[in-house]
Amino acid sequence: MEPEILGKSPLFRGFSGEELRSLLKELGGSVRTYGRQSFLLRAGERTEQFALLLEGEVTIIQEDFWGNRNIVAQIMPGEVFAESYACVPGSVLRVSACAQTDCRVMWLDMRHLLDAASRGDTPRRLLRNLTAILAAKNLMMNEKITHLSQRTIREKLLSFLSAESGRCGSAEFDIAFSRQQMADYLSVDRSALSAELGRMRDEGILAFHRNHFHLLRAGDREIHQA
């Protein structure tokens, strides 16, 4: 068992160590290791299991017929993925899960969880946590739709960076995406995105260094440019 990361995961929020051990034994969770750039799940497959990332980083991607890639989500340790598909037996995956680094994943069977929840309170609490995670992801997907609905690259960037600033509660923040990943997430060309970021920096709208961004208001721009 991975007590530290499990205890911090929203999936197991509110569970004691003893409850975790008992629950995982009942659900029969299995841990697997994956190498960098390997696929954990592929579009077109089916799964009745959902995953909790223990170590590393996983990207959820969607590709069209021609291979154009869109990043749906970036999964970090303690977060779960594939739960929506596991909740609908027989549904075909429309996305793939790819390891961005070497990673370790715990797989949990949705059928076992649902069966256990019909018999005891502890599994029902886990199911409530999973429902909250699904609701939060729905809100995040709505947020992404807001970004993508903007007409220009600049408007997409402003929408995305404003949301990240609000999430961090600061005008200065780090993002989890590389430039290519940000371009894929916003469904724009990487070169065009980088050029637009450069123009926004030159106009004093923002400052950045790699993945660190600082959004500037009018007064901040004067200080920054001085």
Question: For 116-170, how does the pLDDT look when each residue is reduced to its tens digit (9 = 90+)?
Answer: 998 889 999 999 999 999 999 999 889 999 999 999 999 999 999 999 999 999 9
Q: Distance of CA 131 to CAs 84, 115, 138, 186, 213, Å? A: 10, 16, 11, 27, 33
What is the pTM (predicted TM-score) of this model? 0.77
Q: Give the pLDDT of residue 224.
A: 54
Report the distance separating Cα 224 and Cα 226, nearest Å.
Answer: 6
Q: Give the pLDDT of residue 176.
A: 87
